[in-house]
Amino acid sequence: MTTEQFVVVGYDGSADAQSAVTWAAKAAVALGARLRVVHAVGLLEHAGLSGHGRVDGDMACQIAADAGLDRGDVEWRVVDGDPCGALLRMAEPPDSTILLVVGSRGSGAHAGTLLGSTSLELAEHSSIPVTIVPPSAGGV
């Protein structure tokens, strides 16, 4: 029996995250893997106090489909947690995740600081390959 493999991409609705989903979808096609799009819900969003509006899972899945991935191979997950921790947990067994993908900057990050950098934190702690997708770099 072949274990199903996943590419996992973080998504917060930002432009960088959209580029990351496009790149991750193309990578999934190339690797013969499924795509899991993960949105991490923080403290404010959980309480309905986020100033960034609702994160649209359908849009994320459509972006992946537009990049050439069969819609049936895209899975949308919403989990409570910080983005880095949520993605790292997706890389743990029993899931078979072969690649983590994130945009270089999320919707809440402040330019010029490393304090809230999910991508750097992820690269430091992940035990599987991580791709950090720069803005407007959705191609593979």
Partner 1 sequence: MTTLVVAGPTGITEHDGGTYHPEQPSRLFAAMDGVRALGLEDEVVYPPIAEASLAELGRVHAPAYLAELEAFCARGGGDIDPDTYARPDSWTAGRRAAGAGLAALAELERRGEGVAFVPVRPPGHHATADRAMGFCLVNNVGVAAASRTALGERVLVVDWDVHHGNGTQAIFWDDPDVLYVSTHQHPLFPGTGRPSEVGGPAAPGLTVNLPLPPGATGDVVRTAIDGMARQTIEEFAPDWVLVSCGFDAHQADPLGELELSSGDFAELARVVAEFAPRPGRLALFLEGGYNPASIASSVEATLGALLGAGERPPAPTSGGPGLSQLQADRTERLRAIDRVHMEVGP
Binding site for partner 1 (CB under 8 A): 12, 40-47, 49-52, 79-83, 85-86, 89, 106-110, 112-116, 118, 121
- Answer yes or no: are the C-beta atoms of 90 and 36 closer than 8 Å: yes
Q: Which is nearer to partner 1, 26 or 39 (CB)?
A: 39
- Answer yes or no: are the C-beta atoms of 122 and 130 closer than 8 Å: yes
In whole angstroms, the minimum distance from the beta carbon of 89 to partner 1 comes to 7
In whole angstroms, the minimum distance from the beta carbon of 70 to partner 1 comes to 29
Tokens of 90: 């997706």
Q: Which is nearer to partner 1, 53 or 72 (CB)?
A: 53
Tokens of 39: 């949105």
Q: Which is nearer to partner 1, 48 or 72 (CB)?
A: 48
100, β-bridge pairs = 8, 130
In whole angstroms, the minimum distance from the beta carbon of 138 to partner 1 comes to 23
Dihedral, CA of residue 27, residue 124, residue 85 and residue 117, to nearest 10: -90
Rounded alpha-carbon distances, angstroms, from residue 108 to 1, 15, 17, 58, 119: 42, 12, 12, 21, 13
Residue with structure tokens 């960034």? Answer: 52
Q: Which is nearer to partner 1, 62 or 126 (CB)?
A: 126
In whole angstroms, the minimum distance from the beta carbon of 29 to partner 1 comes to 29
Q: Which is nearer to partner 1, 101 or 109 (CB)?
A: 109
In whole angstroms, the minimum distance from the beta carbon of 4 to partner 1 comes to 23
